[in-house]
Structure 1
């Protein structure tokens, strides 16, 4: 897929300063920041709103979000394919505005069934928008610039969510229906502005196929599917800090409770500062696979350190937990950068939307199964569970090099467009 006119400059790399080079990445970064601030608001208050204000039980909220996540698996590939055929920029703006409107419907929810319907529709549109956004990034960036752009946007995402969570804390302080609802409105306003900011990116021409080959080529590409599956298996580690660490620290170590916040801070700060830098040595699928292999070994070391925190006094526990979190976030930087490149470079340019839909779907599956895996292994088995999890990451990482090599050999030939 060729870059749109006016997009070539400023898409090859990201400046080493705060702002990217002039070009399409600047409005995309601003839109990402605005929308992720809104996401941070809702991540902070939404569960409490549905529980304390609407009156849903925690079990009902969890069930509703799980069912919605299952339906969300159905939308990424079709909407990504639509982005290939109609152009990703306009479709992304439309889907983003739809998400804003649907999120406001939560304010009219009064029972579980209303919550379930809104959650299902919203999640399907949101997951599809994620695939279209990835296709848009692929369209306005070139070569290694795609990895740098994704890395930069991931750093911006962390900053935005952190800022949104800080604002959401005010709603938690007042703990009133008005305060919570104001956060939903503020999210819709910020996300709507973000959608219109995307219009500053030059229009991307759609692709029209000239052959009669199969339509759903991404679902027939076994090499790409295999790499996406491995990446989903590795990505379980993203849930360790959110799901496993809080319960591990409180129930299995002598570390004080504030250690949980310390570990989250280490992760957020390191990702925000070093995600772009960590992507610079990853230039092709081979280097991406090797980086992921190294990430698997680092994750094994991290799991051992986290497991060791169960022995010793509070000071030793905090030191081991902090060291484990630091090693994990280094692995996260490497695995994320490798994932960015593999998702783009193993996909044909004329079908980036469809392929990004497959990649996003695999990540959604990883997010859904991660809590169960963590509940069964580290939280269920204790120290042996941490070791088993670490070995899983190391073995999965080791498979990347041969599987990526195989996937490259199976890459579909370019299609006339």
Structure 2
């Protein structure tokens, strides 16, 4: 990749498709809860329960859809699933009660998690070696930019606060998603993996080394929810920092990821270097959790300074951890079953996303300063474990022919 745009090739249409679809994601992330509560009339508890149940069902879809991508080819399958998602998202506009909301959420989440695994399989199919890590890093930076832009557009709906304004955001998201899906057709078609006559089908689920690394990665990835879940309540209820500090910390994270995610992936070229980068990330996350904890003991200036420095240290750790994760998810997988393996990796990340709010509620928000320190030690301990576990997983990477 050179400059702002990636080099000519399949990554360019993937980048444009990612930007368009993530703008749509930013729209819905900003307005969806308000729409279902203020316009449809669901309670916050009903919305939370519906999304949680949908998330549980979504855990079941990534591996089967990833396997289907191996058998049918990921590009066309991803386009089909993306268009199906557009139609499903518009069904939200017909929801009038909790049970309708639950059904639509479950079906949409199942397809969405499956499409996510197929997308990563497509990236794996059209990139090679270190280029895969750079591609994922570039697309993650684009993701942050798109979600931020979508949230900015959604401010108009929040300003008018009408059913029509909110529904327009759903329609705009669907339109952007359709265009994004069609853009992906510019990516060269990927041939399906050949099927052999013997051996187990679900090889990714039998690969203990890969499963162990995916589990460690899920435990480390809890840090992604710190700024969204723990920091707003910590700043308001436990420090003297003004409320606008929350926006400052989110801004630091967003800008740094957009500017430096690609650069942070350089030098991460094999499982060993990815594991070492993750180990460093764990230590940085420990330092950032200690800084967040320290903000409770100072005045306004000290609290803002410690929180800002903590956010900067955390995002540096995040850059290293995410870049290491990109390589390990690809490199430890059998290339002849990338869809299946990426389904496992995505499932582990989904589990992390589901568990993170509970962990943060029990530790930093429940225990205060000791909870922050326990969480930091958790990240550092997992980071240290990455080096030997990745070495073991790489040594036993499966080599036999794919079924």
Q: Same fold (TM over 0.5)?
A: yes
Q: 2:155 aligns with which of 153, 169, 173?
A: 169
| Aligned twin of 1:65 | 51
Q: 2:387 aligns with which of 401, 406, 415?
A: 401
- The total of aligned residue pairs comes to 403
| Aligned twin of 1:191 | 177
| Aligned twin of 1:7 | none
Q: Distance in 2 between matches of 1:304 and 1:268?
A: 21
Does residue 235 of structure 1 match 2:182?
no
| Aligned twin of 1:363 | 349
Q: Is the 8 A contact 2:279 2:380 kept in 1?
A: yes
Does residue 147 of structure 1 match 2:133?
yes
Q: 1:309 aligns with which of 286, 295, 307?
A: 295
Over 2 Å off, 4+ runs = none
Which shifted more, 210-219 or 40-49?
A: 210-219
Q: Distance in 1 between matches of 2:335 and 2:359?
A: 35
Q: Is the 8 A contact 1:209 1:415 kept in 2?
A: no
Q: Is the 8 A contact 2:253 2:312 kept in 1?
A: yes
Deviation at 1:415, TM superposition (A): 1.4
Q: 2:83 aligns with which of 83, 92, 97?
A: 97
Q: Is the 8 A contact 1:291 1:338 kept in 2?
A: yes
Does residue 215 of structure 1 match 2:204?
no
Does residue 245 of structure 1 match 2:231?
yes
Q: Distance in 1 between matches of 2:155 and 2:362?
A: 32
Q: 1:114 aligns with which of 96, 100, 109?
A: 100
Q: How large is the RMSD of aligned CA atoms in angstroms? A: 0.7
Structure 2, gaps ≥5 residues long: none
Aligned residue for 1:56, secondary structure, equals: coil
Q: Distance in 1 between matches of 2:339 and 2:193?
A: 11
Q: 2:331 aligns with which of 326, 345, 348?
A: 345
Q: Distance in 2 between matches of 1:40 and 1:27?
A: 20
Deviation at 1:210, TM superposition (A): 2.1
| Aligned twin of 2:272 | 286
Q: Is the 8 A contact 1:348 1:414 kept in 2?
A: no
1:188-210 Cα offsets, whole Å, 9 max, x none, are 00000000000000000001122
Deviation at 1:115, TM superposition (A): 0.1
Aligned residue for 2:297, secondary structure, equals: coil
| Aligned twin of 1:265 | 251
What is the TM-score when the length of structure 1 is the normalising length?
0.96
Aligned pairs for 1:18-37 within 5 A: 18-37=4-23
Q: Is the 8 A contact 2:337 2:402 kept in 1?
A: no
1:212-241 Cα offsets, whole Å, 9 max, x none, are 010000000000000000000000000000
| Aligned twin of 2:118 | 132
Q: Is the 8 A contact 1:211 1:415 kept in 2?
A: no
| Aligned twin of 1:10 | none
Does residue 156 of structure 1 match 2:142?
yes
Q: Is the 8 A contact 1:152 1:275 kept in 2?
A: yes
Does residue 387 of structure 1 match 2:348?
no
Q: Distance in 2 between matches of 1:273 and 1:398?
A: 27
| Aligned twin of 1:182 | 168
Q: Is the 8 A contact 1:131 1:360 kept in 2?
A: yes
Q: Distance in 2 between matches of 1:209 and 1:87?
A: 12
1:154-200 Cα offsets, whole Å, 9 max, x none, are 00000000000000011000000000000000000000000000000
1:226-285 Cα offsets, whole Å, 9 max, x none, are 000000000000000000000000000000000000000000000000000000110000
Aligned residue for 1:227, secondary structure, equals: helix
Deviation at 1:312, TM superposition (A): 1.1
CA 1:416–1:351 in 2, change beyond 3 Å: closer, same or farther? closer
What is the TM-score when the length of structure 2 is the normalising length?
0.99
Structure 1, gaps ≥5 residues long: 1-13
Q: 1:206 aligns with which of 176, 184, 192?
A: 192
Does residue 254 of structure 1 match 2:240?
yes
